[in-house]
Amino acid sequence: MQDVTLGVSEAIELINGALDQAFPFILVEGEVASFKVNQGKFVFFDVKDESGSLNCFMMAFSLKFPIQDGMKVRILAQPKITAWGKFSLTVREIMPVGEGSLKKSFELLKAKLEKEGLFDETRKRALPRLPTRIGVVSSSQAAGYIDFLKILENRWGNLVVVLVDVPVQGIEAPAQIIGALAHLNELAIPVDVIAVLRGGGSADDLSAFNHEDVVRAIATSRAPTIVGVGHEVDVSLADLVSDRRAATPSNAAEILVPDKKEVLARAQRTADMAFNGVTAAIRVFQEDTNLITKDISKTLENFMTLQNNSITSFKRTLNQLNPEAVLKRGYSLVKKGNKIMASTSDVILNDEVSIQFKDGTIGAKVTDVSSSK
């Protein structure tokens, strides 16, 4: 190698080639200094510790956590010599580490996304009442995921859980979580809901859930999302942007499906209520029938009374018309044979007639006929 003379560019290329082979990527942790963004596109800063400092370069679009001077960060970077011979790390991923830096970054990104309206209640969609296919973004090794499955099994059945098994912590986690979300949203048989799950951990362990692109991927997920990350006290931006926040992965399972014991008890109550309903309906029917019967007999009774009254008055009228009654009042009835004599023209002189009184009859002879007119 020493025998070959290289041009400057060739030398740079050779060194970069060697670097790439030896260290395709290195993970470096340090404190940020001299952070600046040029033309909104290029990011320059240094990472340093007590005794050393390294130049870093990255594209602004790769910046997924707000970074400020003084923050402790972990970077995934490619060591390189620039065309100007300056040694620099080309940063692919950068994330804050340590509670203070994470908190600072969290607050900055939260404020930014809040301003965009990403956490608005109006954006939140309802989860399916009873999902059939549940997509899960988590690690098959994560304790939280195992709890989730166990509770799901206890509460409900007939579910299909589609897990995309990805790391949920570490510098690789954000890209894998985003990929998993996209994959679940593009399945031939779509999932009804996507659960993003991770058990408890340190602020560093949970930092992927405060990664801007992860947060945005959850916001734009086609399927509604539920996020259960960490313990109850942990709040991540993924939680805030999700359609439904669960305190823990176990809580996510409780939110997603009802407890079959409760559902069956409710079904039983419905059947009981239906039975009571039937009983009540029959009682009402009986009461109605009684009322109707009562109504009918009352009407009948009224009718009869009315009839009776009419009959009585009719009888009275009849009575009044009874000739005997007239005789009783002192009048008498003149007959010739069986014919009643009602006028002077009915008789002639010497006709023999009978006169009926109330108490008997006498015979008589007509001795005079004189009309009153």
Q: Is 216 in the site for other proteins (CB under 8 A)?
A: no
Q: Is 267 in the site for other proteins (CB under 8 A)?
A: yes
Q: Is 157 in the site for other proteins (CB under 8 A)?
A: yes
CB nearer to other proteins: pick between 200 and 258: 258
Contact 174, 214 (CB under 8 A): yes
- Read off φ and ψ for residue 24, nearest 5 degrees: -55, -40
- CA distances (Å), 17 to each of 20, 81, 111, 289, 305, in order? 5, 10, 42, 100, 122
Pick the stretch among 21-29, 280-288, 318-326, 336-344 that binds other proteins (CB under 8 A). Answer: 280-288
**Token digits of residue 40:** 């909104």
CB nearer to other proteins: pick between 106 and 148: 148
Q: How many CB atoms lie within 10 A of CB 262?
A: 10
Write down the least CB distance from residue 119 to other proteins, Å. 26
- CA distances (Å), 369 to each of 22, 64, 363, in order? 168, 145, 17
Residue type, 25: F
Q: How many CB atoms lie within 10 A of CB 80?
A: 17
DSSP 8-state symbol, 201:
-
Write down the least CB distance from residue 277 to other proteins, Å. 4
Write down the least CB distance from residue 279 to other proteins, Å. 9
**Token digits of residue 188:** 């031939």
Write down the least CB distance from residue 321 to other proteins, Å. 57
Q: Which of 60, 130, 291, 311 forms a contact with other proteins (CB under 8 A)?
A: 130
Q: Is 208 in the site for other proteins (CB under 8 A)?
A: no
Contact letters for other proteins, residues 165-184 (x by CB under 8 A): xx--------xx-xxx-xx-
Q: Which of 163, 197, 219, 227 forms a contact with other proteins (CB under 8 A)?
A: 163
Q: What is the DSSP string of 308-348?
A: HHHHHHHHHHHHHH-HHHHHHTT--EEEETTEE--SGGG--
Q: Is 270 in the site for other proteins (CB under 8 A)?
A: yes
Q: Is 278 in the site for other proteins (CB under 8 A)?
A: yes
**Token digits of residue 201:** 């951990």
Contact 339, 369 (CB under 8 A): no
- The dihedral built from the CA positions of residue 225, 226, 229 and 234, taken in this order, carries a sign that is positive
Q: Is 126 in the site for other proteins (CB under 8 A)?
A: no
Write down the least CB distance from residue 159 to other proteins, Å. 4
Q: Is 24 in the site for other proteins (CB under 8 A)?
A: no
Q: Is 164 in the site for other proteins (CB under 8 A)?
A: yes
**Token digits of residue 142:** 């994560």
CA–CA separation, 294 vs 283, rounded Å?
Answer: 16
Q: Is 274 in the site for other proteins (CB under 8 A)?
A: yes
Q: Which of 34, 53, 140, 332 forms a contact with other proteins (CB under 8 A)?
A: 140
Write down the least CB distance from residue 121 to other proteins, Å. 27
Q: Is 63 in the site for other proteins (CB under 8 A)?
A: no
User: Looking only at residues 224 through 253 of this chain, which bind other proteins when binding is defined by CB under 8 A?
Assistant: none
Q: Is 11 in the site for other proteins (CB under 8 A)?
A: no
Q: Which of 26, 37, 81, 92 forms a contact with other proteins (CB under 8 A)?
A: 92
CA–CA separation, 14 vs 4, rounded Å?
Answer: 12
> Residue 70: which residues within 8 A CB-CB, separation 6 or more?
31, 32, 33
CA–CA separation, 159 vs 139, rounded Å?
Answer: 19
Interface residue list for other proteins (CB under 8 A): 92-93, 129-130, 132-133, 140, 149, 152-153, 156-166, 175-176, 178-180, 182-183, 189, 260, 263-264, 266-268, 270-271, 273-278, 280-282, 284-285
